[in-house]
Structure 1
Amino acid sequence: MMGLPNLLSLLRILLIPVYLYYFLAGNYITAAIIFSFSALTDFLDGYFARKYQLTSDLGRILDPTADKLSIISILIALIISDIIPHYIPVILLIRELFIFISSGITYLLGYDMINPSLLGKISIFLLYLAIALRLLNVKFIGLFLFYVVIPLNIVSGLDYIKTTLNKLSSNVN
């Protein structure tokens, strides 16, 4: 059954080409609004899943996949554009691709997905905010947040590696 949290995750995936269309067309305001709505669905799907015990096997795959596809797609669009220095989305993209690929491998090996840490959740929230602000042409605060997100993203990525290795090594013994 496709519960509300899974529908919200699916909606987040379906919104990717919509906000990318507006982004690539140079309509950053509309792209920011749609991207922000997409980010809100990320919060809401988790909230409803936990509050109403609507977690599912599909949701454990669909939600993180929607998260990563959303972030990866907008970071690639930011690399293509000239609205922020290219090295910023490249650094963030490397981390996101690493986690996306390693999550997939971990899952294919039969292990549960690694839940994001609090630092990872804060990092992603600030990344969503930085992207939305920059698209809304709030240059200074948006760019400043990117510089806050980079070290948070790197540290949470390292924490993800540590958690994954601990989980894998505990299952080997």
Structure 2
Amino acid sequence: MWNVPNVLTFCRFLLIPVYLLVFQAGHMKIAFCILVAAGLTDVLDGYIARKRQLVTQLGSMLDPLADKSMMIAVILSLVFSQMISWWAAAAIFLRDIGMIVGSAFFHFRGKITVPANFMGKLTTVLYYIAILLIVFQMPYAFIYLWFVIIISFLTSVIYIAQFKLLNKRDLDA
């Protein structure tokens, strides 16, 4: 249960209140560095888990929960500090909640769910870049954020198509 990847995932949960405290104190650039550190632990724990065959049921459940929890904290902090609009946050949350609820619904019905793929990972990287542009108040940051939101919805469409292909026999019956 407490292997290195799961400990790294747990550390990501611990970084959430640290991020919020640092952000609330007005140190947004340091808060962004904490977000990047959380992202790096995500990459590292996945790599170690796969490379050393340490993938566990607990890790498979906690890893995406840690990712989504951190992203929720980041988006809410940006909204409450008026760095992004409620509309952008609502679009991000709508997509994420839809993916989480849909995935859980079909998982518990015995359907094959689609693991993270290149497009999902790319979308995450693009969100990190959007947050970087917003925190550092770069030109066109909000246009880029909406571009990433659109890409994330397109990624969801790809996941749905893959889900349908993986579960074609069951869906046709």
TM-score band by shorter chain is 0.7 to 0.9
Query: What corresponds to 2:25 in structure 1?
Result: 25
SS class of match (2:139):
helix
Give the 3 Å change call, closer, same or farther, for CA 112–81 of structure 1 in structure 2. farther
Aligned to 2:146: 147
Given the superposition, is the C-alpha separation of residues 7 and 49 from structure 1 closer, same or farther in structure 2, using an over 3 Å criterion?
same
Match of 1:67 in 2: 67
Q: Which moved more, 1:40-49 or 1:98-107?
A: 98-107
What CA deviation, in whole Å up to 9, does each residue of 1:88-110 have, x standing for no partner?
A: 22211211111122223233334
Residues 110 and 21 of structure 1: CA distance in aligned 2, closer, same or farther (over 3 Å): farther
| SS of residue paired to 1:139 | coil
Equivalent position of 2:162 in the other structure? 163
Aligned partner letter, 1:90: A
Q: Over residues 74-130 of structure 1, what are the superposed CA-to-partner deviations in whole Å (9 max), with x where a residue is unaligned?
A: 222222221123322221121111112222323333445531221111011110222
Relative distance call for 1:2 and 1:141 in structure 2 (3 A) is: farther
Residue correspondence of structure 1 range 19-168 to structure 2 within 5 A: 19-111=19-111, 113-135=113-135, 137-140=136-139, 142-168=141-167
Partner SS for 1:82: coil
Tell me by how many angstroms 1:34 deviates.
1.0
* Residues 15 and 38, structure 1, Cα contact 8 Å, conserved in 2: yes
How much does 1:37 deviate?
0.6
Report how many residues are paired: 172
What residue identity is the alignment partner of 2:169? S
Q: Deviations over 1:8-44 (max 9, x none)?
A: 1111122112212222333212211111111111111
Q: Structure 1 pair 51/81, CA: closer, same or farther in 2 (3 Å)?
A: same
- Report if the CA contact (8 A) 1:120-1:152 is conserved: no
The AA in structure 2 aligned to 1:102 is G
Alpha-carbon deviation of 1:141? Answer: 6.1
For the pair shown, the structure with the greater C-alpha radius of gyration is 2
Over aligned residues, Cα RMSD in angstroms?
2.3
Gaps of 5+ in 1: none
Is residue 48–residue 54 contact of structure 1 (8 Å, CA) maintained in 2?
yes
Q: What letter corresponds to residue 155 of structure 1 in structure 2? A: L
For 2:102, give the aligned amino acid: S
TM-score where L is the length of structure 1: 0.84
Deviates more, 1:147-156 or 1:16-25: 16-25
Contact 1:78 1:84 in 2 (8 A): yes
CA distance in 2, matches of 1:108, 1:26: 42
1:56 counterpart letter in structure 2: T
Q: 1:76 to 1:47 in 2, by over 3 A?
A: same
**Kindly, what percent of the aligned residue pairs are identical?**
32
